Amino acid sequence: MINLPVLVLNQSYEPLTICRARRAVVLIYRGKAEMLENGVGFIHSITETFPLPSVIRLAYFVKRPYRERKLTRFEVFNRDRYTCQYCSKETRQLTLDHIIPRHRGGQHTWENVVSACVPCNRRKAGRTPQEARMRLIRSPGYPRNSPFFSIPYQYRQTKQEWQKYLPQ
C-alpha cells in the first residue's frame, strides 16, 4: 500500500512527477504538501492514522529546467502509447524495432525506432518495412515537447482521479 503511485503537482497545479504513497505522506505530515485527492486505505502509525493520498500539491513553487528527452525504451513505448506500430495491437510485451536495420546503416534515433510486438518484429526480421510488406501506422518522430511532466501512459488510463489534473 505504501508503494502506490501518487501524482505530485506544483503549487500552480502543474504535474511535476510521480512519487510513492509513503513519500507523499511524509511531505503532507511535514507541511510541505497538501492532499487534493484521497486514495484507498490508510497508513497506521503507533499514535495516528494517515489517509493514503492519490494526488498531492506542493506548498511551494518548484522551477523546473527544460530537459531534453532521452531515447529510452520507456520513452519510445510512451510515445507510441504501448501499441505495436505495425499491427496496432496494444500490449505490454513490446520490443524496439529499427525501421532501417542497424546492420544496414540505420541509426538509433527517434525517427528510426518504433515499438513492435514480438510476432511483428520476428516477421519483419532484418528487412525494411517495404521489403517485409508491412506498413507503419504512424511515422515515428521526436516526442511532442510539453512543458508538463510526461505521465506514463499506463497511469493515464488507470488513474481516473488524476484526469482533471493532467493536460489532454
Q: Give me the pLDDT at residue 119, please.
A: 96
Among 72, 140, 137, 160, smallest CA distance to 100 is for: 140
Whether the per-residue pLDDT at 24 is higher than 90: the answer is yes
Q: Which tens digit of pLDDT belongs to each residue from 119-156? A: 999 999 999 999 999 999 999 998 876 555 566 666 66
Whether the per-residue pLDDT at 93 is higher than 80: the answer is yes
Among 96, 119, 93, 128, smallest CA distance to 109 is for: 96
Helices (H), the chain: 21-29, 73-79, 118-124, 153-158
- Reported confidence tier of residue 27, pLDDT bands at 50, 70, 90: very high
> Averaged over 14-43, what is the pLDDT?
90
Domains of the chain: residue spans and CATH: 5-64 (no CATH), 73-124 (1.10.30.50)
> Averaged over 62-74, what is the pLDDT?
83
Whether the per-residue pLDDT at 13 is higher than 60: the answer is yes
Cell numbers 513519500: residue: 23
Mean pLDDT of the chain: 88
Residue % of the chain over a pLDDT of 70: 90
Q: Give me the pLDDT at residue 149, please.
A: 55
Q: Give me the pLDDT at residue 153, please.
A: 62
- Lowest mean pLDDT, pick from 60-74, 125-139, 151-165: 151-165
